[in-house]
Amino acid sequence: MGKATGFLDYPRVDGPVVEPKARITNFDEFHLRLDEEEQRLQGARCMNCGVPFCQAGVMIAGMASGCPLHNLVPETNELVYKGKWEAAYNRLSKTHGLPEFTSHVCPALCENACTCGLNTAPVSTKENEKAIIEYAYAHDLVKEEEPKIRTGKTVAIIGSGPSGLSTAQMLNRRGHKVTVFERSDRVGGLLRYGIPNMKLDKRIIDRRVKLLEAAGVEFKCSVNVGVDVTGEELLAKYDRVVLCCGASNPRDLNSPGRDAKGIYFAVDFLKEVSKKLMDLDYDSKALMAATDFSFKSLKGKKVIVVGGGDTGNDCVGTSIRLGASSVTQLEMMPQAPTERLESNPWPEWPKVLKTDYGQEEAIYKFGEDPRIYQTTITEFIKDKKDNLKAVKVVSLESKKDEKSGRMMMVPVEGTERELKADMVLIAAGFLGSEGYVRDSFKVECNERTNVKTDEGYATSRDRVFTAGDMHRGQSLVVWAIAEGRACAKAVDESLMGYSNL
């Protein structure tokens, strides 16, 4: 333990955040870092408790508690406090190969399970992790070296998101020859096109990809497996195939008027904006002035976002930056409590109200929280040219379904009303993996359309494995990375008869 009384001596201090007034003028990251000395004091707050739930990564009451990667959190925090940054990086690297991603976008399962957080603020483990990996990059400690011995085995990985990159990294380190196929024009998958630049600067992805390429990983972009090349062709060429295509089949709203012009899936909207930003060499002003989007421009438009999760919040923040005159966010479920209920004790995941950056920016810009709870769209209203002009919404209440016995959100009679809208972004979650890839490899799926596996990561098709959201359903980047590492070990064992990963 670095400092026995650290959690008593030092309050939690987070890195500075650019105020909404300034940050909505660009697409730059707005979470800044503490200076090194202050970050060390944050490491001192770690209690090194006897039961570190922060690194447990276990399911409690159906929710994850602690880090799925089982990062050695108390040890790295102690090394941060002592200023032993290289040792901290070496310790973090034992369990985690891509900390530059989770330290930006993870909701910090470790912190929500922190014992210190039971009575006071938890240790800022996520920011400590960012400080470690950025120190490592700045001091040339991050290496991806070409294996001295190759096994002669070949592996194709379909998808270059967090699970694909994690799987590729581990299998390449083992000595297998890895080729990653990506249907988009750039590597990164969800990291690249599902998360806005202000949360994860895409040059951070490029930094890691260059290291992987130098170590021998081959990336083939703009290749849509299942369309441009078949599963049979890949199985004929490679010893193993790993499907890491994500849960990218968006849930739709099949209300009357759905064919109106001006309705987009959130994932398509966010991808188009991110691609344009990169094509413009990260020039935020040029992006905000652009009018050659599929939706032309958002300036002066009333935007409605359907969905209250992270993707919906990203749509709120992006719409504000692109000049929307109003942004409203519809959420089917009731508003969460502001504090833990007795039925949701530590170290369960806290089911409490979270006001994220997009909502903060909407409050600044428009004077109120954009979220309307227990509400859904029942009809899209078009003008004579089939352009969206409004939506009809209804309030919802929770009632028990007589047949299933489950609690359901049902419409409240007499609460129908109209909201003006020029554009609707559907961020209502995902329905599992896309069928054409599964069909190309002839793998079985479960009732949630995720690829079905044995107790590990092997699919119903010989020599085909899967990891990440395609395997577990829509989830977190940290889970995708953890699954990639575990899947790599399973693939290695199937190739070599044993694994030292």
Percent of the chain residues past pLDDT 90, beyond the cut: 92
Q: Per residue in 220-264, pLDDT tens?
A: 999 999 999 999 999 999 999 999 999 989 999 999 999 999 999
Q: Per residue in 337-373, pLDDT tens?
A: 999 999 999 999 999 999 999 999 999 999 999 999 9
Higher model confidence: residue 96 or residue 62?
96
Residues 84 and 81: their CA atoms lie apart, in Å, by 8
Q: Per residue in 127-168, pLDDT tens?
A: 999 999 999 999 999 999 999 999 999 999 999 999 999 999
Residues in the chain: 501
Residue 396's SS3 state is strand
Q: Which amino acid is at 84?
A: K
Q: Per residue in 398-443, pLDDT tens?
A: 998 888 888 899 999 999 999 999 999 999 999 888 999 999 999 9
Residues 439 and 373: their CA atoms lie apart, in Å, by 38
Q: What is the mean pLDDT of the chain?
A: 96
Residues 234 and 320: their CA atoms lie apart, in Å, by 43
| Residue 1 pLDDT greater than 70, yes or no | no
Q: Per residue in 9-43, pLDDT tens?
A: 999 999 999 999 999 999 999 999 999 999 999 99
Query: All domains of the chain, ordered by start, with CATH?
Result: 6-138 (1.10.1060.10), 154-247+431-496 (3.50.50.60), 263-426 (3.50.50.60)
Residues 486 and 333: their CA atoms lie apart, in Å, by 34
Residues 351 and 334: their CA atoms lie apart, in Å, by 12
